[in-house]
Homo-oligomer: A and B are copies of this chain.
Amino acid sequence: MISSLELARLCGVSQGTVDRALHDRPGVNADTRQRILDAVAAHGYRPHPGAQELLHGRRVTVGALAPAVTQVFFMDLLHELKTALAVRGLRLSVTPYDGEVEFRDALAEFAARRVRGVCVIPPTDRFLLPDELTEDMPLACFLNRCEVRNSRFFAPDERRAGRDAVTFLVSRGHRRILHVTSVRQAYGIVERAAGYTAEMKARKLKPVVLASPDDAALADAVRREEATALFCMNDERALRAIRTLNRAGRSVPGEVSVLGLDNSPTFIRLCPDLTTLAWPMATLAGQAAAWLAAGEIPAGQPPFLTLVERETVNHV
């Protein structure tokens, strides 16, 4: 890539003239301007964004950190963020990370690059960071919180999602409802389980939580508890549960109903018949983008998850 100085020499003018031509400012001969614009086109010249940012602290890049241990959901969230930021003239640069050390390091790198802000999915909940890191770089957290100032957590009412799941399944006649979750202690995972347990108890039903069960353990539990419905902590778990049940000779939703949570587009393409609670991805991505772009703090209650009825939950 050619520089503006080289471009100027090429056209036999000074850098200042090139700049005026580039930015459509007055005070440049029509011929000269045309000559410069032709050279720009021929060499595919573009100003160096790094040099621009260096010059007048205009910060247009937002960093993003997503766990390299990929989940479909993360990628859909990043896409949503990218769209929401683009509307506000900001671009997104994604770095995959692997483990807490890389997370901290990648964050420091973003700080060094003076990005506008960062969107992260922290490795664990309540992840501790030094305050000076985010002094001049707002940190938008998803799925897990960071303990550092100048950061905000963008999350729906996850606990209510757990309660809503139970309420919905009960309304379809289910009573023996299992919750399939993960041993991971992410914020949403914990809250969903708490909501499920609270609502089950409130209805005098027996809460049964299965944390990261393997195929055999899940099939066993369904049989032992005579479960008619599974509330899975996310869509991935739900799909695995469906496959486990199918392979154990149980039909879904004929014998056992399955309710997921996420409704991320990529996943649903994979599994188009899944009844699930939709995580309000667009809303939260929009809130984060508005905060990073303009400092707007979201007002009101956190958004809810909404039910998307498809074909994996039966009325019994």
- Residue A46 at the chain B interface, CB threshold 8 Å: yes
For the complex formed, measure the closest distance between the CB of A57 and the CB atoms of chain B, giving whole angstroms: 11
One digit per residue, 1 when the CB lies within 8 angstroms of any chain B CB and 0 when it does not, for chain A 217-249 equals 000000000000000000010011011001100
For the complex formed, measure the closest distance between the CB of A273 and the CB atoms of chain B, giving whole angstroms: 7
- Residue A51 at the chain B interface, CB threshold 8 Å: yes
Pairwise interchain contact B111-A82, C-beta atoms closer than 8 A: no
Tell me which of B75, B136, B247 contacts A75 (CB under 8 A).
Answer: B75
Cα distance A270–B262 in the bound complex, in angstroms: 15
Name the interface residues of A27-63: CB closer than 8 Å to any CB of B. Answer: 42-44, 46-51, 53-54
Give A78's nearest chain B residue, CB to CB.
B96
Contact size class for A? 35 or more
Pairwise interchain contact B94-A82, C-beta atoms closer than 8 A: no
- Residue A205 at the chain B interface, CB threshold 8 Å: no
Pairwise interchain contact A68-B72, C-beta atoms closer than 8 A: no
Pairwise interchain contact B72-A236, C-beta atoms closer than 8 A: no
For the complex formed, measure the closest distance between the CB of A85 and the CB atoms of chain B, giving whole angstroms: 11
Pairwise interchain contact B96-A49, C-beta atoms closer than 8 A: no
Pairwise interchain contact B112-A96, C-beta atoms closer than 8 A: no
For the complex formed, measure the closest distance between the CB of A253 and the CB atoms of chain B, giving whole angstroms: 10
- Residue A113 at the chain B interface, CB threshold 8 Å: yes
What copy number does this chain have within its complex?
A: 2
- Residue A171 at the chain B interface, CB threshold 8 Å: no
One digit per residue, 1 when the CB lies within 8 angstroms of any chain B CB and 0 when it does not, for chain A 1-20 equals 10000000000000000000
Contacts of A91 in B (CB 8 A): 95, 109
- Residue A185 at the chain B interface, CB threshold 8 Å: no
Contacts of A191 in B (CB 8 A): none
Interface centre among A1, A43, A49, A246 (most CB of B within 10 A): A1
Cα distance A70–B114 in the bound complex, in angstroms: 28
Tell me which of B47, B53, B95 contacts A92 (CB under 8 A).
Answer: B95
Cα distance A137–B109 in the bound complex, in angstroms: 23
For the complex formed, measure the closest distance between the CB of A49 and the CB atoms of chain B, giving whole angstroms: 6
In the complex with contacts A75-B70, A239-B270, A240-B270, A108-B54 CB distance below 8 A: no
Give A97's nearest chain B residue, CB to CB.
B82
Contacts of A49 in B (CB 8 A): 109, 112-113
Contacts of A108 in B (CB 8 A): 44, 46
Interface set of A (CB-CB < 8 Å, partner B): 1, 42-44, 46-51, 53-54, 68-72, 75-76, 78-79, 82, 91-96, 108-109, 111-114, 130, 132-133, 135-137, 236, 239-240, 242-243, 246-247, 266, 270-271, 273
